[in-house]
Amino acid sequence: MSNLPVLTEGCCAPLTREPLAHADAADLAPLFKALGDPVRLRLLSLIACHDGGEACVCELTGAFDLSAPTISHHLKVLREAGLITSERRGTWIYYQVSPEVIGRVSAVLGDQAPALV
């Protein structure tokens, strides 16, 4: 039986900043849950890619092979999570990204967060 060396230093790297608090994690979880669906993630991306971060629903429905009610459901989930807002103009509804909410999500995943690759 061989003897293993005794390590005098810790096995884990020390924290370099404060981890996400429980309350913040609970607050952000519904946002990530809403983004957990590929259709919703793509819808958010399509809206954000339009000039001014705003897109008409007519520009969104054609990008998917889904029914209008299904697209409406996914937009409703994103809106209820606070990731997008909507405004009716005549017969059309325009969706906008919510920059402050997107900023919160980005802060968790951005430069402050450890690399995922």
CATH of the domain at 75: 1.10.10.10
The pair of structure tokens assigned to 30 is: 């519904």
Tens of pLDDT, residues 54-67: 999 989 998 999 99
The pair of structure tokens assigned to 71 is: 């697209």
Other CB atoms within a 10 A radius of the CB of residue 35 amount to 16
Q: 110 and 101 in contact (C-beta within 8 Å)?
A: no
Number of structural domains found in the chain? 1
Range of the domain at 51: 22-109
> Mean pLDDT for the chain?
85
Tens of pLDDT, residues 88-114: 999 999 999 998 888 888 888 765 544
Question: pTM for the whole thing?
Answer: 0.76
In a domain, 5, yes or no: no
In a domain, 115, yes or no: no
